[in-house]
Structure 1
Amino acid sequence: MLKIINLSKKFNINTDNEINIFQNFNLEIEENKCTAIIGSNGCGKSTLLNIIGGSILADKGQIVLNGHNIENLREEQRANHIGRVYQNPSMGVSPSLTILENMSLANKKGEKFTLRKLIRKNNIDRYIELLKDLDLGLENKLNTKVKFLSGGQRQSLSLVMAAMKHPDLLLLDEHTAALDPKTSNVIMQRTRELIKKYSMTTIMISHNMKDAIEYSDRIVMLDKGEILLDKPSINVTEKELIDIYREKLHNFA
């Protein structure tokens, strides 16, 4: 479904601070599965997601999505096939616009339109049904500006917007890291429901090892741009992951 082939990426090239994040890196993501990418800070998790999404370009390598090379596509072109939810609850929405305007924008992704024709009345019932599934009462706040919503409400809205056009690939970039534990749990439940509902192929970055195991089908641990562990989540324990982290820290010290 998604193949990353011989990916290489350096930063600060030809300086004293040159960093080689990936070198001939390969990874294949299974269709209709949720793959959790974990690892310590600087291991390459976010860089990998940014390269897939197009906000960072690789130095070399191929990114093949559903049989099509996308490494030369601009970020906005890739967005027609890739949905993304960010760590910051405000990055996936437009805070100055209403819930209705935000959902209308998401529904127009990949299409040409004018702001005057942004909202179509015949789509509103569908938006309401999508919001009802969140069970947060947002369907009764369509004309509320998103900046007045809580972080959890914004992230829930971001999830719905990212999934509403059934993208080929959903990227979750530590999308609960900025939330309190209770809200984080709610968002993870909503995430699982949406992934299952739309059978979305998903890559999820997480620092929460318990969530990574519970809500994914596969665990991939990175270390300095290399795969340290790759197992079905059902075969991984939180203790195993913690022990690997401790061993790496001990060796580093």
Structure 2
Amino acid sequence: MLRIENLSKSFNIGTDNEISIFNNFNLEIEENKCTAIIGSNGCGKSTLLNVIGGSIPIDQGQILIKGKDVSKLREEQRAIHIGRVYQNPSMGVSPSLTILENMSLADKKGQKFTLKKLIKKGNVDKYVKLLKDLDLGLENKLDTKVKFLSGGQRQSLSLLMATMKLPDLLLLDEHTAALDPKTSNVIMKKTKELIEKYSITTIMISHNMRDAIEYSDRIIMLDKGQIVLDKPSINVTEKELIEIYRAKLDQIVA
């Protein structure tokens, strides 16, 4: 479904601080599956999501979604095919707008519209039903500005908005990292419910190895822009991942 071919990406090219993240990197993501990307800081996880989403241009290579080359499309053009939930609960929503206005914005994705004609009354019942499925009581707060919601409520809303139009690909960028453990657990369960309900192909970056194993179908570990582990999640243990991390850390210390 997603194919990355011969991807190369460097930063600060031609300076003393030049860093090569990816060099002829290849990856294929299976349709209707959740793939967890893990690895230490600087391994290339966030850069990978950013080049897929289009917020960072690539130097060489191709990024194909369902066979279509999106490598040269701008971020807003790719957004028609891609949903994304960020680490910061406020990045996927408009805090100064109400829940209803945010839902309407998400529903207009890929369309031209004006704020004056943003809300269609005929769509309100649909939004209420979607919000009820979150089981957080947000359907009773349609006129509440999102900035007054908790971090967990905002992230739940962001997740719902990112999946409303059933994107070809959903990118989860450490979307529970800023939440407390209890709220994080709730969001992960809601995430699993949504992607399974709508069979959404998903790439999830996570520092939580337990979540990565429990909520994904496939685990990929990156190190210095290279894949050092690629296994079905059911065949991976948390102990195994910890041992790989420790081995990499020992190499750095040595």
TM-score range, shorter chain: over 0.9
- Structure 1 residue matching 2:244: 3-state secondary structure: helix
Q: Quote how far apart the aligned CAs of 1:110 are.
A: 0.2
1:101 is matched by which residue type in structure 2? Answer: E
Separation (CA, whole Å) in 2 of partners of 1:243 and 1:123: 51
Separation (CA, whole Å) in 2 of partners of 1:198 and 1:167: 10
Q: 5 Å matches for 1:221-236?
A: 221-236=221-236
Separation (CA, whole Å) in 2 of partners of 1:184 and 1:138: 18
Instruction: Report the counterpart of residue 36 of structure 2 in structure 1.
Output: 36
Separation (CA, whole Å) in 1 of partners of 2:28 and 2:80: 21
Separation (CA, whole Å) in 1 of partners of 2:201 and 2:165: 13
Instruction: Report the counterpart of residue 14 of structure 2 in structure 1.
Output: 14
Cα deviation code 1:21-77 (max 9, x no counterpart): 000000000000000000000000000000000000100100000010000100000
Instruction: Report the counterpart of residue 177 of structure 1 in structure 2.
Output: 177
Identify unmatched segments of 5+ residues in structure 2: none
Q: Quote how far apart the aligned CAs of 1:208 are.
A: 0.1
Q: Quote how far apart the aligned CAs of 1:78 are.
A: 0.2
Instruction: Report the counterpart of residue 252 of structure 2 in structure 1.
Output: 252
Q: Quote how far apart the aligned CAs of 1:201 are.
A: 0.1
2:83 is matched by which residue type in structure 1? Answer: G
Root-mean-square deviation over aligned CA pairs: 0.3
Separation (CA, whole Å) in 1 of partners of 2:242 and 2:200: 29
TM-score w.r.t. the length of structure 1 is 1.00
Q: Quote how far apart the aligned CAs of 1:252 are.
A: 1.1
Q: Quote how far apart the aligned CAs of 1:2 are.
A: 0.3
Q: Quote how far apart the aligned CAs of 1:116 are.
A: 1.0
Separation (CA, whole Å) in 2 of partners of 1:77 and 1:15: 31
Instruction: Report the counterpart of residue 122 of structure 1 in structure 2.
Output: 122
TM-score w.r.t. the length of structure 2 is 0.99
Given the alignment of the two structures, is residue 135 of structure 1 paired with residue 174 of structure 2, yes or no?
no
**Shift >4 Å, 4+ stretches:** none
Separation (CA, whole Å) in 1 of partners of 2:207 and 2:44: 13
Instruction: Report the counterpart of residue 45 of structure 2 in structure 1.
Output: 45
Work out the percentage of aligned pairs sharing the same amino acid: 81
